[in-house]
Amino acid sequence: VAIRREDYSAPAYWIDTVDLTFDLDPAKTRVLNRMRLRRNPQVAPEPLRLDGDELNLARVLVDGQGASFRMEADQLVIDNLPDTFELEIFTTCCPNKNTKLMGLFVSEDTFFTQCEAEGFRRITYFLDRPDVMASYTVTIRASKAAYPVLLSNGNLVEQGELPEGRHFAKWVDPFRKPSYLFALVAGKLVAREQRIKARSGKEHLLQVYVRAGDLDKTEHAMNSLINSVMWDEARFGLSLDLDRFMIVATSDFNMGAMENKGLNIFNTKYVLANQATATDADYSNIESVVGHEYFHNWSGDRVTCRDWFQLSLKEGLTVFRDQEFSQDLCAEASARAVKRIEDVRVLRTAQFPEDAGPMAHPVRPDSYIEISNFYTVTIYEKGAEVVRMMQTLVGRKGFERGITLYFERHDGQAVTCDDFAQAIADANPDSDLARLLPQFKRWYSQAGTPRLTAHGVYDAAARTYTLSFVQSCPPTPGQPVKEPFVIPVNIGLLGTDGRELPVQLEGDAEATQGTRTLVLTRAGEQLTFVNVDAEPVPSILRGFSAPVILDYEYSDAQLLTLLANDTDPFNRWEAGQRLALRAALHAIATPGDAHEPPLNHAFIEAMRSVLRHPQLDAAFKELVLTLPSETYIAEQLDVVDPQRVHAVREAMRGQLATALFADWEQAYEQNRDTGAYAPDPVSSGRRALAGMALVNLCLAARTSGDAVWPGKTLQRFKDAGNMTDRFNALSALVSSGHALAAQALARFHEIFKNEALVIDKWFSLQAGAPDRGGDILPLVRQLMKHPDFSIKNPNRARSVIFSYCNANPGALHRTDAAGYVFWSDRVIELDAINPQVAARLARALDRWSKLAEPYRSAAREAIARVAARPDLSKDTLEVVTRALAI
């Protein structure tokens, strides 16, 4: 059943044009598909094999004549075809029974499609693979009263009335595209519209379609779209190529959003926002996702993937582009650094564990059973880091040249990751990337997170400082041995007084100021700095210049120096994280000292200095004061006792809350008022720090029994002028386990009972709250009985089940194994409804083999219980089979 990359072969037929006619009916939609096909002369003759899935086939005509065909599994097979021919296929499908949300489905009485990766075959028989690109004409017919808006890709060329209260619309997409980019929407929708003029002077119509009550929540998405259009022109010279660009929001969606050509379909979570219902994080996610989907118009749609093994070609590149977009929109350098730290945090807390677990796969995988399982943080976020390293190696201008060459060379084609890397290198023939290209591409072929161990030796007599580096990469499933990577290491040196030192490497004519990029290529190598007056503190891997684990035996004093002084904000933050991690690991390793507080005086004083620092941004302070997550701490251990990790981290949180009480008070007072609401980085950062202060003040109150801050927090909750402040106050009460939480939660539900996305937050906050004595699982079971709960809606299922299973380790891992049993029940229940969502949930126990007993055996048993189910989807089966194979 596994599909292998090395088995790729070009299609035996090409499809030049597709003319689709839809008669929409939720119970039985008719699809007439008329195509012009042509044999691929490059390939030996073979029968035509069209993919289909859950279709009812009524008719097949070749050149207008009834043709003989046969079914082989899900494929429709036709022999003895001429070199070119017309093929007409008539099928029906059942959108209102489509709970998988792939293909054509109904959400709140509106039709939507999701075709990536292999959903188009649920709409009609087709060569459903990305290297078959065709020109589409689409006619949609439906009841005018029930479905007044009829949308598809491209330009609306005709519309009109039909008998019996029906109407039609005809759309023509001016660009050839693979089937996964097809889209159709029909329903009662309204649009925010904006006409913009591009740099070329060309006019475009931008539209954001939502349900009637949501129009007041579309301004931010529209502004994000306008910014995206402008940014891609300015940074990469890539213009909008369509007269009309549409975004449509649906509340039933498996993923975040989808880049269908000219008709992006979004999860409402990444479109709808106003200050009363959306948090700063929501605003920032909307900006990223709108940008991401818009940037796919070039990196994905104009140039697409040859096959699904190349998925990172478009996803890694497009994540990189959306990260750069969000950074470039920041007015302040410090806000750009904050964005970078947030991105790295996602990579290290989600992708590093993936790379070390049973689902580890290269950025360009070698095989898969179900491609939907490979829309992963490795393909997306690690893929973006690989693109970022290319930019580091060729420089920002060189990278822009590379992008220009890539789109010139491959416009209109379906290509590979090799083609991308080659274009960037060819545009920069004298670069380290061009010189090292074959080795650099190991980032695409080898899975696992490389470990880079550095060691520094100062020679006072010679005034030299030598850094030795050793790189290694652990085995991953199917890859026992790894070859060395090309690792760009941005580095600077600090004096013990914290000042940045000039850098002169052996062989350099003179010293340079600031960060240098060293390019490591061997398993072990040494670099010597000359004219160094005293032992320096090395600041290694600045800006997280490569996705590796850096080991360096920093002393506490050196880390405190970096935390207080590093000019690189990433490493400044990282120094604090290393100190906190060290304290956590020490406390975990010495359970005898259960009553010894984990954090020492020096660390607490360093945190106090950051919190009180007159120059540092609130957003940066909030990041520094956030302790490494339980997941990240667990990754550093060979054997994980999740309850011990949870207890130690909670003890550390309690210590920071109490020891810095007065500082939290001050931070709260200084940051609580941010004026008229705007989701910009500076005021968001202030709200984040004020929110963090409230959490700490409520937590400290829990220990001291003081009632003042919980009371003030409840008042803040009631008075808040925006969702960020309101939700932060609510979180502070809930996460400190205060008695006032219950009334705040009830009130919150009452205010927002008609706002689905806010009710998701309400569920998620409770299911994700810190566990105290095993109280979360019973609460989660209660929440699933709430009238607002529905397991069929992915956002709602995620808000309860995932918030517990995938995001609350201290509550999931119970000595009585009840958390795992709950997990297995939900995986099985969801698998019958929506395999993609089930398979994501199944990933929650990826790291089971690291667990200490009794967790380990109990988790394995729960996974085996899922795997033993008959009729499991390919999606879930692949995940649990790989988990058990570790």
**CA proximity to 491, closest of 383, 581, 579, 570:** 570
Q: Determine, following the binding rule CB under 6 A, whether residue 683 of this chain makes contact with ligand ARG.
A: no
337 contacts 570 by C-beta, under 8 angstroms:
yes
Name which of 258 and 769 has its Cβ closer to ligand ARG: 258
Strand bridging mode 56-62 / 48-51? unpaired
Q: Taking every pair of C-alpha atoms in the chain, what is the biggest distance, in angstroms?
A: 95
Q: Determine, following the binding rule CB under 6 A, whether residue 375 of this chain makes contact with ligand ARG.
A: yes
Q: Determine, following the binding rule CB under 6 A, whether residue 315 of this chain makes contact with ligand ARG.
A: yes
Q: Determine, following the binding rule CB under 6 A, whether residue 116 of this chain makes contact with ligand ARG.
A: yes
Of 116, 287, 293, 630, which one is the catalytic site residue?
293
Name which of 376 and 558 has its Cβ closer to ligand ARG: 376
String of contacts with ligand ARG for each residue 271-300, x by CB under 6 A: ---------------------xx-------
**Residue 883 binds which one of ligand ARG, Zn ion, none, with CB within 5 to 8 A depending on kind?**
none
Name which of 288 and 571 has its Cβ closer to Zn ion: 288
Check if 293 is active-site.
yes
**CA proximity to 11, closest of 141, 193, 134:** 134
Name which of 377 and 494 has its Cβ closer to ligand ARG: 377
Beta-carbon neighbour count of residue 544 at 10 Å? 22
CB 296 → Zn ion: shortest distance, Å? 6
**Residue 372 binds which one of Zn ion, ligand ARG, none, with CB within 5 to 8 A depending on kind?**
ligand ARG
Q: Is 161 exposed, middle or buried (0-12, 13-18, 19+ CB in 10 A)?
A: exposed
Q: Determine, following the binding rule CB under 6 A, whether residue 257 of this chain makes contact with ligand ARG.
A: yes
Residue given tokens 């979570």 in the structure block: 269
Residue given tokens 């939660």 in the structure block: 745
Which of 317-325, 442-450, 527-535, 852-860 is the region at the interface with Zn ion (rule: CB under 5 A)?
A: 317-325
Distance, in Å, from the CA atom of 71 to the CA atom of 53, rounded to the nearest integer, reads 12
DSSP 443-472: HHH--S--EEEEEEEEETTTTEEEEEEEEE
Q: How many residues bind ligand ARG (CB under 6 A)?
A: 11
Distance, in Å, from the CA atom of 75 to the CA atom of 55, rounded to the nearest integer, reads 11
Name which of 375 and 444 has its Cβ closer to ligand ARG: 375
Token representation of residue 370: 């179900």
* Backbone φ and ψ of 756, nearest 5°: -55, -40
Partner residues linked to 415 by β-bridges = 305
By CB under 6 A, name the one of 132, 222, 255, 606 that touches ligand ARG. 255
Q: Is 497 exposed, middle or buried (0-12, 13-18, 19+ CB in 10 A)?
A: exposed
**Residue 258 binds which one of Zn ion, ligand ARG, none, with CB within 5 to 8 A depending on kind?**
ligand ARG
CB 735 → ligand ARG: shortest distance, Å? 31
Give how far the C-alpha of residue 395 lies from the chain's centroid of Cα atoms, to the nearest Å: 26
CB 846 → ligand ARG: shortest distance, Å? 18
Name which of 102 and 744 has its Cβ closer to ligand ARG: 102
Q: Determine, following the binding rule CB under 6 A, whether residue 309 of this chain makes contact with ligand ARG.
A: no
CB 82 → ligand ARG: shortest distance, Å? 35
Distance, in Å, from the CA atom of 647 to the CA atom of 813, rounded to the nearest integer, reads 12
Q: How many CA atoms lie within 13 A of 503 on its CB side?
A: 21
**Residue 766 binds which one of Zn ion, ligand ARG, none, with CB within 5 to 8 A depending on kind?**
none
CB 383 → ligand ARG: shortest distance, Å? 11
CB 612 → ligand ARG: shortest distance, Å? 41
**Residue 117 binds which one of Zn ion, ligand ARG, none, with CB within 5 to 8 A depending on kind?**
ligand ARG
Residue given tokens 């400190």 in the structure block: 736
CB 86 → Zn ion: shortest distance, Å? 34
Q: Give me the helices (H) in 705-775, please.
A: 708-719, 723-735, 741-752, 756-767
Distance, in Å, from the CA atom of 105 to the CA atom of 185, rounded to the nearest integer, reads 10
By CB under 6 A, name the one of 18, 78, 117, 238 that touches ligand ARG. 117
Distance, in Å, from the CA atom of 339 to the CA atom of 287, rounded to the nearest integer, reads 13
Q: Determine, following the binding rule CB under 6 A, whether residue 372 of this chain makes contact with ligand ARG.
A: yes
By CB under 6 A, name the one of 51, 252, 259, 846 that touches ligand ARG. 259
Q: CB nearest ligand ARG: which residue?
A: 375
Token representation of residue 864: 């085996």
* Backbone φ and ψ of 517, nearest 5°: -100, 115
Q: Determine, following the binding rule CB under 6 A, whether residue 258 of this chain makes contact with ligand ARG.
A: yes
Name which of 169 and 258 has its Cβ closer to ligand ARG: 258
What DSSP element (H or E) covers 549?
strand 549-552
Q: Determine, following the binding rule CB under 6 A, whether residue 308 of this chain makes contact with ligand ARG.
A: no
**Residue 443 binds which one of Zn ion, ligand ARG, none, with CB within 5 to 8 A depending on kind?**
none
**Residue 420 binds which one of ligand ARG, Zn ion, none, with CB within 5 to 8 A depending on kind?**
none
Partner residues linked to 159 by β-bridges = 169
**Residue 631 binds which one of ligand ARG, Zn ion, none, with CB within 5 to 8 A depending on kind?**
none
**Residue 566 binds which one of Zn ion, ligand ARG, none, with CB within 5 to 8 A depending on kind?**
none
225 contacts 245 by C-beta, under 8 angstroms:
yes
838 in the Ramachandran plot: left (φ > 0), alpha (ψ -120 to 50) or beta?
alpha
Which residues are tagged catalytic?
293
Chain residues in the site for Zn ion (CB under 5 A): 315, 318
Residues forming contacts to ligand ARG in the complex (CB under 6 A) are: 116-117, 255, 257-259, 292-293, 315, 372, 375
